[in-house]
Structure 1
Amino acid sequence: MEKPLPRPTGQSRTRDPWWDNARFVSAALIVVLHSIGSLMSRHDTLAVYHVGTWAFRVPLFVILAGVFSSGGPLGPRQLRTLLRNIALPALIFSLLFSLESYALGRPFKLHITELPWTLWFLMALFFWRLLLPLVVQLRHPLLVTTVVALAVGYIDEFGMRFAASRTLVYLPLFYFGWRLGQGMFREWFASRWSLPVAVAGILASFAVAWHGGVRGTWLSMSHAYAADTPLGMEGAWLVRLLVLASAAALVLCLLRLVPKRRLPLISVLGTGGFTIYLLHPLVILPFRERGLIARADTHLELIALMVGGVLLAAVLGSPFVRRLVQPLTQPPVDWLFAPMPAQATPTPITPPKQALGKEFRITP
């Protein structure tokens, strides 16, 4: 039986810094991309960054979410946690995004079924955690979820609404993350031979990005297939399969290179990866809408933007900011629920032996 990899839980007082280090890497790369994303059409090097680091952003975030998820039955306590930590923050930050966009001059629009910008991840995460206890009961979970992920690309109805497309397409990676948390690939993470292989994998990712040919529609996972693949619509599923498999392999490479020991500052900031993900769009949006990001044109300015993205991730992941926004990221919901019923310990009842003897006495 595979031995589970160490995972921090709500009850544990110590966290495994390995996962926190990886979480900060993923969150920082996401913030950097959103800081420079509007400039990619003007600079080829930014497009290389987009493709080369793709697997280390959303796919890594999805896999890490799977690592920290439970495949057991969802009881009342787990369902309340889902509502407090995922559903309500998604609605709160969707409203904040709408208010901020309105303040910046856009028409007010309330997002319910299609959450804005990065918040689709929370809606997908809500469904992933609901589906995981069912998925783990399947005979071949990874095969089934992968077939579903490839098939939905041919169905136009699976799009951005309720994050349906991304929920199903990324479900194999979410389940893969859960398996990592259960101890799969333990030898890969501990052996010496895997280290140079992981380095080669990272370099290959950027080599492919530099060579070009990878289109953004292959990586977005948000809509049905488009007829822009070399294999046409008939072979579009092969492209998606290759992308998902590459994402899983590259995440394994990155996790192999991420230090397992506690790193100064990085490990602490990594505990706030979820806060970084939620807050950074609200900070970046005014700079983007006012055209301040679009002014960056020289290589020095682009580097400054990327460094600024890393610094922004560090600030948003700091303990002070996490405590400050905790009412938004983990809103108090005790008032919303009825008190949890007390679980009474059943008392065994033993019938008197004499009564049993009289009741079942056989008279000759």
Structure 2
Amino acid sequence: MEQPSGRPVTAATPGPSRDPWWDNARFVSATLIVTLHTMGSIMAQHHVLHSLHLSTWALRVPAFVILAGVFSSAGPLGSRQLRAVLQSIVVPALLFSVLFSLEAYWLGAEFTLHIAQLPWTLWFLMALFFWRLMLPLVVQLRYPLVITTCAALAVGYIDDFGMMFAASRTIVYLPLFYLGWKIGQGSLRSWFTSRWSLPVAVGGLLVAGVVGWLWHRDISGAWLSMSEAYRPEDPMAMRWAWLIRLAILASAAFLVLCFLRVVPRGRLPLISTLGAGGFTIYLLHPLFIMPAREYGLIKRVDEPLEQLGLVLCAVALSMVLGSKPVRTLFKPLIQPPVTRLFSPTPVTQRPVTVPTAVPANPVPQEVVRAS
């Protein structure tokens, strides 16, 4: 990808300021996720909400997966990298799991501490942890995208790969995570900069909207969640069930590329600033939606104007959670200060030196110095 100056840009490119393009995309995806979870308990009852759910599916979790890959490194996991993974992924996942359990208990449920199967959106953190561990290995493969896609299709035939430890989604979304990493390395540059790709991207998003409006009742939510094995009752039976998953993954990748092509690359008032807190929005919003669900506030929504009001409330919640004061307030949970858990200095392994054979006719040092 290139900025207007023509200088190649990658996710790892250091710089004094953030790239507003990614922040814009992050805010839209996070807001769509908040909207889905806000209307989730009633969307099946309303045509408009259910079609909106299907039309924007690829712009939510698949987009978040690809964006996570954009900002990931495929370098070896040294001491500092492992510390960063623990501090930014593992510890927040455990902290928010406890928070969700406490809130559920406060709302009347039995207290259950989730470790192997994290609640709500926290499966993404568990999957992100495994993606980060696997990425240095995946990039060593000769055909990474083909192999990870085959693994994503094959895992649907293994019953043991389910929601425990986010196993199924970790494998299924791995091709999209790798695709995001490739984008971060500068791949598909012509797609993001060429004039011809813009009308194609707009057309792709419009087709998704039409499909969502016309056939949202015919597309199973289990196909989209991809959290469990294939089902014998699927239309194409077990033998050809992988074709459905392949079509979903391919359409998700294409629609996210369309989405990123349409998203403005320049800084947008308010949106770019709020997008910097996309991860905060993602982690915090269930804590605010759960009480509204349990107290029956969402179930009361019925009329079209009420549905529109519900969507606007979800957008407002996303904007509040992405604001700088909220990010500052919850930073100890998002980026917990756990440095005392680590040793004062990173433990590094001394490189192993293997003696090499002396060449039969060594080059004279005078020649080396002269060169």
TM-score by length of 2: 0.90
Paired residue type of 1:252 = L
**Gaps spanning 5+ residues in structure 2: where?**
352-371
> 1:8 Cα shift?
6.3
Matched to 1:117, the amino acid is W
Tell me which residue corresponds to 2:189.
186
SS at match of 1:294: coil
CA distance in 1, matches of 2:226, 2:182: 22
| Pairwise CA distance, 1:12 | 3.2
2:160 alignment partner, SS class? coil
Q: C-alpha distance in 2, partners of 1:7/1:140?
A: 22
CA contact (8 A) 1:56 1:254 kept: yes
Q: Structure 1 residues 289 and 306 mapped into 2: Cα distance closer, same or farther (>3 Å)?
A: same
Following TM superposition, by how much is the alpha carbon of 1:230 offset from its aligned partner in structure 2, in angstroms?
A: 2.4
1:13, CA displacement in angstroms?
2.1
RMSD: 1.8
* Residue matched to 2:155: 152
| 1:101 and 2:136 aligned | no
Whether contact under 8 Å (1:272, 1:318) holds in the other structure is yes
**Match among 240, 244, 264 for residue 235 of structure 1:** 240
2:200 is aligned with 1:197: yes
Shift of 1:215: 1.1
**Which residue type is aligned with residue 132 of structure 2?**
R
- Aligned counterparts of 1:210 and 1:227: Cα–Cα separation in 2: 27
1:127 to 127, 130, 141: 130
> 331-340 or 241-250: which moved more?
331-340
**Which of 250, 258, 274 is matched with 1:253 structurally?**
258
Q: Structure 1 unaligned runs (5+)?
A: 347-364
Q: 2:64 aligns with which of 61, 65, 68?
A: 61
Measure how far apart 1:233 and its partner are.
Answer: 1.0
- State the Cα distance separating 1:216 from its structure 2 match: 0.5
**Distance apart, 1:286 and its partner CA:** 0.2
1:167-316 alignment, distance < 5 Å: 167-212=170-215, 213-316=218-321
Note the C-alpha offset of 1:5. 3.2
Q: Answer whether contact 1:5 1:186 (CA < 8 A) is retained.
A: no
Q: Post-superposition shift, 1:226?
A: 1.3
Change (3 A) 1:175 1:341: closer
Q: Secondary structure of the residue that 2:246 maps to in structure 1?
A: helix
1:342 Cα deviation from its structure 2 partner? 9.1
Counterparts of 1:279 and 1:13, CA distance in 2: 27
> Residue deviations 1:331-354, cap 9 Å, x none?
0111100012599xx9xxxxxxxx
Equivalent residue of 2:9, what SS? Answer: coil
| Residue 22 (str. 1) matches residue 25 (str. 2) | yes
Deviation at 1:4, TM superposition (A): 5.3
TM-score, scaled relative to structure 1: 0.92
Tell whether the 8 Å contact from 1:229 to 1:239 is kept in structure 2 after alignment: no
Runs of 4+ in structure 1 deviating by more than 2 angstroms, as ranges, are 2-9, 227-230
1:175 maps to a residue whose letter is Y
SS in 2 for 1:276: helix
Q: Is the 8 Å Cα contact of residues 114 and 120 (structure 1) preserved in structure 2?
A: yes
Q: Which of the residues 7, 27, 33 maps onto 2:11?
A: 7
Tell me, in whole angstroms, the C-alpha distance in 2 between the residues paired with 1:19 and 1:269: 11
> What count of residue pairs does the alignment treat as equivalent?
344
Identity %: 65
User: Within the alignment, does 1:337 sit opposite 2:342 as a pair?
Assistant: yes
Aligned residue identity for 1:7: A
Choose the corresponding residue for 2:142, options 136, 139, 144: 139
